[in-house]
Amino acid sequence: MPQLPDLPFGVDYRAVGVFLLAVLVAVIQQFFADWIKAQLARLWGLVAGRRRGIRADEWRRYRAWVARTYNRMELGFVRDVSVTLDEVYVPLEYEQDGRRVDVYRDVQDRRRTVILGAAGAGKSMLLRHSMVRWAAAPERFERVPVLVELARSNRDGRTIRQLITEALGRLDDEPDGRRRHRRARPLVADAAQVVEVALASGRLCVFLDGLDEVVTERRGAVAEEIKEFAERHSTTQIVVTCRDAVYDGDLRPVFDREIRVAGFDDAGIRHFLRLWFTRRDAGGAEHHAPGRERDEASADSRHVVEQLLAELRSSPTVMRLARSPLMLTMITTLYEADAGAGPMLTNSRAEFYQQAVEHLLRRDRDLGRHRNLARYQAGHKLMALRAIALAAQGGRSQGTDRRVIGEAEVYAELARILPRFRLAEEHLPRMVDEIVERSGLLIRIDDNNLLYEFAHLTLQEYLAAVELADDPDRLLGLYRENPSRWRETVKLWCAGANRDASGVVRQIFGGDGRDRLLALECVAEARQLDENLASTIVDSHVRLLGTPAADKHLVLAALGAVAGNSGPFGQRLFDSLARQARSGGSVAEDAVVALAESRRREAIELLSEMAVRVPAARAALRATGELAIPTLAARAGAGSVAAVDDLAAIGTPPPRSPWRNSCGPGTGRLPYARRGGWPPWSTRRTSRTNCAPSTPRRRRRRPWPPGRRG
């Protein structure tokens, strides 16, 4: 047998072998560790699934629970009223390069996404509807979704994994008629082990809702935990929602995809109203009525939609309110609940909340039901709600802020004000019960732990602002301690009637960039403000046009809101923006966006003139929605192909729009034959109508959890 030659420096072959083996192991760990781990986890999932007996009935139970729980939406604005999400949901969109993109379709194929938006923008509804779509056809999806409310971590600091386990392992609350005398069972038995296997194999899609609702002292730690969780489970899809005013890149660079939800455009508002006011026909007696009666019901619904749209368009300020899904839901809910009182539309967000809250507190008395149902005066209940809201917002104890408030704290707040009403202490639980049961503004969310929360965080912020109406110094102190928590409350405070907000706004304007932006937003909201101060604030932000300023989209929206006011100050700002829009360059690109945000008729006319030669003006004109239809119709009638495309991008025109007949085929005035079809609005995003499911996969995926399908 030939002898191996000696190696230099007296190195032994065994040492070389050990070294090469170590290098090979290092290479495998570096490049193949995740793949090997995934394969082993998948194999273990099959084995563990059979060992622990993941059954098809558990699978069906979770599906049924998701469909039952997330497809019904209780409306906190009117007691005992709920809707089916499938009946009224309008897909959310974001704007990119002058066009609107469906958020759901963008997110579903991305591994890490942060969805940002204002209060009431529909972020939570997007996640709920995603759960419902999965439950309707789980075989079309690769992953199983789990919805986690991050505010739940405020109670005892539970980890992300524990919250996921809790979501899958909660007790099934199937209807009593079906459960009969059976004990409630968990949706998924041994949820902790199932979560471990599912995370390792990448079979979960985790929705983390409401990073902004985590208490401030824990938000940084929770953000770090989310990033570590995402890095540890690289194959798990994760979507996080947060208010844009609170988010400061907390999850970067692990979450590099950030989407800002756009408000409803005109077609979205119309679509929502049509779904809302026709949903009763699908399940009510009209569904079985003769054709003539169904046609009459449909005609009535169309009339209501057009009537409400006309009132919304009567003021740019009101229309801006309606672009928020939350505000539009409140408008339609209250309009439908008490149509005789009108839609309760005002030019102020704070005034609308005031009317809505008073309506809900006085409804039983107005309907003559107060003797049996409403024992306490509406004014007394409003004072109680204001005190509870301030405590829940974090206004009683320093360093705290939360959505959920315990019953002991609720009683403590009421005990402070009951002597003013000359009521004994035994009225405490009765008043709380009446507020919960009759108004729907405060909700009891946990009977075992006696926990409460407001129907929506925005209502809590508004009521806290009302409670601080006569204490601006305290409001400023709370804002300085926790700016992100009190930002909306400050704006709602400034929007209050019969209140000069100059002192508060002046002090806020002296802060950093985020504070100065808040001051500009307060200029748009405030009913009374020193004009010189307002000019200083607005001018400082106008100078940012054309520069890469932080939160530019919020700056432009606020400038547009100020320019949309009909007074002399709004007119001066509008004229300034119009001059800068004509100047060209990057300044003009920002100015046309602010003009579009104003929603003024003069802005539409100016943008229409510029749209032919300035792409940014054309995109801004499209963003104004149906307000641009008369102007675009005139251009289309003059032979503009671009105007036809713009009309198609905007969507369905009003049913009795005057240009419907004057610009249709056969008039010889529209270049419709050169486009793909007519009418132009027929090309509107069809996904809005039925929320089409995601594109089917090329091959059928093995269902998760592992186990026999039943």
Tens of pLDDT, residues 619-628: 898 888 778 8
Quick one: pLDDT band at residue 562, thresholds 50, 70, 90?
A: very high
List every span in the chain annotated with CATH 3.40.50.300.
56-260
CA angle 71, 211, 704 (to 5 degrees): 50
pLDDT (average), residues 346-353 = 79
Tell me if residue 240 falls in helix, strand or coil.
strand
pLDDT (average), residues 153-182 = 77
What's the mean per-residue pLDDT of the chain? 80
Q: Which stretch of DSSP H or E encloses residue 96?
A: strand 93-96
User: Residue 399: what pLDDT?
Assistant: 52
CA dist., res. 142 & res. 397, Å (int): 46
Q: What is the pLDDT of residues 48-80, one digit of tens each?
A: 444 343 467 777 889 999 999 999 877 655 555
Quick one: pLDDT band at residue 476, thresholds 50, 70, 90?
A: very high
CA dist., res. 453 & res. 213, Å (int): 12
CA 393 to each of CA 79, 191, 400, 468: distance values in angstroms, whole numbers, following the listed order: 23, 34, 8, 12
CA dist., res. 235 & res. 167, Å (int): 20
In the chain, the N- to C-terminal Cα span, in Å, equals 65
Q: What is the pLDDT of residues 68-115, one digit of tens each?
A: 999 987 765 555 567 788 888 999 999 887 778 999 999 988 999 999
Query: Beta-carbon neighbour count of residue 240 at 10 Å?
Result: 27
Tell me if residue 452 falls in helix, strand or coil.
strand
Q: What is the pLDDT of residues 11-48, one digit of tens each?
A: 676 777 777 787 787 777 776 666 666 666 555 544 44
Quick one: pLDDT band at residue 542, thresholds 50, 70, 90?
A: very high
Identify which of 430, 427, 405, 433 has the alpha carbon closest to the alpha carbon of residue 415.
Answer: 427
CATH 1.10.10.10 corresponds to the domain 378-462: yes
Q: Which of 21-25, 500-504, 676-680 has the weakest average pLDDT?
A: 676-680
User: Residue 295: what pLDDT?
Assistant: 59
Which residues sit opposite 114 in a β-bridge?
A: 240, 258
Q: Are 644 and 669 in contact (CB under 8 A)?
A: no
Which one is predicted more confidently, 519 or 297? 519
List every span in the chain annotated with CATH 1.10.10.10.
378-462
Q: What is the pLDDT of residues 508-532, one digit of tens each?
A: 999 999 999 999 999 999 989 999 9
CA dist., res. 399 & res. 405, Å (int): 15
User: Residue 284: what pLDDT?
Assistant: 47
pLDDT (average), residues 642-661 = 63
User: Residue 334: what pLDDT?
Assistant: 74
CA dist., res. 332 & res. 490, Å (int): 26
| pLDDT of 668 strictly over 50 | no
Q: How do beta strands 405-406 and 451-454 pair?
A: antiparallel
Q: What is the pLDDT of residues 683-710, one digit of tens each?
A: 444 333 333 333 334 344 434 443 333 3
For residue 620, which amino acid is it? Answer: A
| pLDDT of 587 strictly over 90 | yes
Q: Which of 33-37, 268-272, 357-361 has the highest mean pLDDT?
A: 268-272
> For the chain, how are helix, strand and coil distributed in percent, rounded to 5?
60, 10, 30
Q: How many CA within 13 A on the CB side of residue 332? A: 28
Which residues sit opposite 145 in a β-bridge?
A: 205
Which one is predicted more confidently, 375 or 75? 375
Please provide the size of the chain in residues: 710
Quick one: pLDDT band at residue 673, thresholds 50, 70, 90?
A: very low
Tokens of 432: 């709380």
| pLDDT of 163 strictly over 90 | yes
For residue 486, which amino acid is it? Answer: W
| pLDDT of 236 strictly over 50 | yes
| pLDDT of 220 strictly over 50 | yes
User: Residue 335: what pLDDT?
Assistant: 77
Q: Are 689 and 267 in contact (CB under 8 A)?
A: no
Percentage of residues in the chain having pLDDT higher than 90: 36
Q: Which of 386-400, 406-420, 469-483 has the weakest average pLDDT?
A: 386-400
Tokens 């004994």 locate to 424
* Architecture of the domain delimited by 56-260: 3-Layer(aba) Sandwich (3.40)
| pLDDT of 131 strictly over 80 | yes
Which one is predicted more confidently, 424 or 259? 259
Which residues sit opposite 258 in a β-bridge?
A: 114
Tokens 């002991």 locate to 408
| pLDDT of 667 strictly over 60 | no
Q: Are 192 and 169 in contact (CB under 8 A)?
A: yes
User: Residue 78: what pLDDT?
Assistant: 57
Which one is predicted more confidently, 349 or 155? 349
Quick one: pLDDT band at residue 208, thresholds 50, 70, 90?
A: very high
pLDDT (average), residues 494-515 = 92
Tokens of 144: 């199983």
| pLDDT of 559 strictly over 80 | yes
User: Residue 11: what pLDDT?
Assistant: 62
CA dist., res. 12 & res. 109, Å (int): 53
Q: Are 279 and 83 in contact (CB under 8 A)?
A: yes
Tell me if residue 275 falls in helix, strand or coil.
helix
pLDDT (average), residues 319-345 = 73
User: Residue 66: what pLDDT?
Assistant: 94
User: Residue 496: what pLDDT?
Assistant: 84
